[in-house]
Amino acid sequence: MQTKISRRTVVKSAIAAGAFIPALGFIDTAMAAAAMPALDPSEPTAKALGYVKDTATVDAKANPTHKPEQKCSNCAQYQGKAGDANAGCNIFAGKSVAGAGWCKVWAKKPGA
């Protein structure tokens, strides 16, 4: 038996799939960040890089180049979006960092 599928049906399906797949990617990223354990600032690597969960608490004497507007959410290494409360970081694999956090590796995300 042959089922007749109209061109309109194919086009509508393709549009729906095109809209849905990026949404899946977003959900996947959000779920991945939620599943990752939060980076503990007292872990040796985090400590060595001066990671803090809140950029407002950075030790200014120890980090004279730090500026208050520098935070994980606008860092090139941050895997989340600007508004995400936490997300992965390319430096700390398998851990999530706070969007409001900071460490010595901070570098401005292009376009941020």
Residue nearer to ligand SF4 on the CB measure, 19 or 93: 93
Q: What minimum distance in Å lies between the beta carbon of 46 and ligand SF4?
A: 8
Q: Where are the beta strands (DSSP E) in the chain?
A: 86-88, 96-98
How far is the C-alpha of 110 from the C-alpha of 2, rounded, in Å?
Answer: 53
How far is the C-alpha of 63 from the C-alpha of 73, rounded, in Å?
Answer: 19
Q: What minimum distance in Å lies between the beta carbon of 57 and ligand SF4?
A: 13
Residue nearer to ligand SF4 on the CB measure, 22 or 41: 41
Which positions touch ligand SF4 (CB under 6 A)?
Answer: 51, 72, 75, 77-78, 89, 91, 97, 101-103, 105-106
How far is the C-alpha of 71 from the C-alpha of 31, rounded, in Å?
Answer: 22
